[in-house]
Structure 1
C-alpha cells in the first residue's frame, strides 16, 4: 500500500512542532534562551518583522542575525515556510503559530475563548471562516477594526479598518469600509456560529496598506444594518480577537 505524500502545510506544521518541542526541552535543560540564525534580509524576532543586520567587518559584509528567542525557535519556522511558499503567522497575544491560514482566537472581555476565525488570502481578497460557540443566538455585526485588542479591552481596537476613507455598510452609497463584512454573523439557538465570508480588496501582506494582518476582528451584540455610519448600529462589542501577522 502506498502512502500519500506530505503536503507543504504538513511539512511546515511538523517542523513547527519539532522546533517548539526541541527549543522547550533545550531551554528547560540549560536554563537559558535559545538563539536562531538566519541570513535573509527580512527576518522576524518574536513574530515581528525586524530590520536587516547592520554591516560588519572591514568589507562591510552583513553577518547573519542571531535572534534571542527565549526558548522558541520561531524564526526557522518562518524561514521554512518561505522556502515552501506556505505562509506562517504569529499570534503574539496567545504565543501561537499558525500555518497556511492566520488563525484568530476569539475571546470575550473576561478572557473566555469562544472559538476561532481562519483567514486565508486569495485572489482579490481574504477568505474568512468563522467557527464560534456560546455566543447569543441571532445575528451579530462583525468587522475588522483598525488596531489589535489590548488586555481584552475591545475599545483599544478603535474603529473599523477603513483605508479607503469610505462610510460604513455595503448598502451605504458612500460605503463600505474594507473591514465591513457583507452580511451578519448568525448564531443558532445553541450559540453556535459557523459561517464563511470574503473580504474583497483586503490582504494579509505585512507591508500593504490594505492588509488586515495585525489588526482585530470584533463581534457585536446586535445586527449590522449595513448602512448606518460608522458601525451599522450593531451595539456593544461582545467578543473579538487579533489577526496574526
Structure 2
C-alpha cells in the first residue's frame, strides 16, 4: 500500500522544527548572541501551533530552540524555508516563529491574549483571517497601523499605514489608506470574532513600500464609519498585535 505524499504544510512543519533544532546545535560554533531560548519559543505552521522537538546536544546539554541574529531568526531556519518555498516570519516581541502565514498574537492593554490573526500574501494583496475571543460584542474598527506596538501601549502604533497619502475610509472620495479594512470586525454576543478580510495592494515583502510586515493591527472600541479622517471615528484602541517580518 502506498502512503499519501506529504503536503507542503506537513513538510514545512517537520523540516522547520528540525531547522529550529539545527539552529540551536550549530550555535556553539557561531560567534552570535543567543536571545531566545526554547522555553520562550512559540512555533506556528500555516496558522496552527506546533510543538518543536526538544533540542538536546550530543553531550546531553540542552540547546536553544530558536536564536536571533542581527534581529532575525538564525540562518538555517530561513534557509530551509527558502528551500521549501515557504515564507518564514519572526515575531521578536513574543518569541514566535510562523511558517506559511504570519501569525499576529492579539492582546489587550493588560497583555492578555485574545487570539490570533493569520496573514497570507496572495496575488493583489494579503488575506487576513481573524480568530479572537473576549471582545465586547458588536462591530469594531480594525486597521493596520504604521508602527509595531511597544509594551502594550497602542498609542505607539501611531496612525494608519498610509503609503499612498490618502484619507481614511473606503467610502471617502479621497480614501482609502492601504491599512483600511473594507468592513468592520464584528464580535458575537459571546465575544468571539471569526472573520476573513482581504487587504488590496498590501504585501508582506520586507523591502516593499507597500509591505505591512513589521507593523501592527489595531482593534477599536467602536465601528469604523469608513469616511471620517483619520480613523473612521472608531473610538479607543482596545486590542492589537504586531505583524511579524
- The verdict on a shared fold, with TM-score over 0.5 as the criterion, is yes
Match of 1:25 in 2: 56
Give secondary structure in 2 for the equivalent of 1:25.
coil
Q: What is the distance in 2 between the residues matched to 1:210 and 1:33?
A: 34
Cα 1:225–1:106 shift into 2, 3 Å: same
Superposed displacement of residue 35, structure 1 = 11
Match of 2:214 in 1: 214
Q: What is the distance in 1 between the residues matched to 2:74 and 2:97?
A: 8
Q: What is the distance in 2 between the residues matched to 1:18 and 1:217?
A: 31
Does residue 1:45 correspond to 2:45, yes or no? no
Match of 2:46 in 1: none
Match of 1:234 in 2: 234
Give secondary structure in 1 for the equivalent of 2:56.
helix
Match of 1:203 in 2: 203
Match of 2:88 in 1: 88
**Cα offsets for 1:126-154 (capped at 9, x unmatched):** 00000000100000000000000011111
- TM-score in terms of structure 2 length: 0.81
Match of 2:122 in 1: 122
Match of 1:102 in 2: 102
Superposed displacement of residue 18, structure 1 = 2.8
- TM-score in terms of structure 1 length: 0.81
Match of 2:43 in 1: none
Give secondary structure in 1 for the equivalent of 2:222.
coil
Residues 170-179 or 10-19, more deviating: 10-19
Match of 2:40 in 1: none
Q: Which runs of 5+ in 2 are unaligned?
A: 25-54
Q: What is the distance in 1 between the residues matched to 2:15 and 2:223?
A: 42
Flag the structure with larger Rg: 1
The question of whether the paired residues in 1 share the 8 Å contact of 2:56 and 2:63 is answered with no
Q: Which runs of 5+ in 1 are unaligned?
A: 37-43, 49-72
Superposed displacement of residue 47, structure 1 = 5.0
Q: What is the distance in 1 between the residues matched to 2:218 and 2:65?
A: 35
The question of whether the paired residues in 1 share the 8 Å contact of 2:87 and 2:101 is answered with yes
| Cα RMSD after superposing both structures | 2.3
Give secondary structure in 2 for the equivalent of 1:169.
coil
Does residue 1:7 correspond to 2:10, yes or no? no
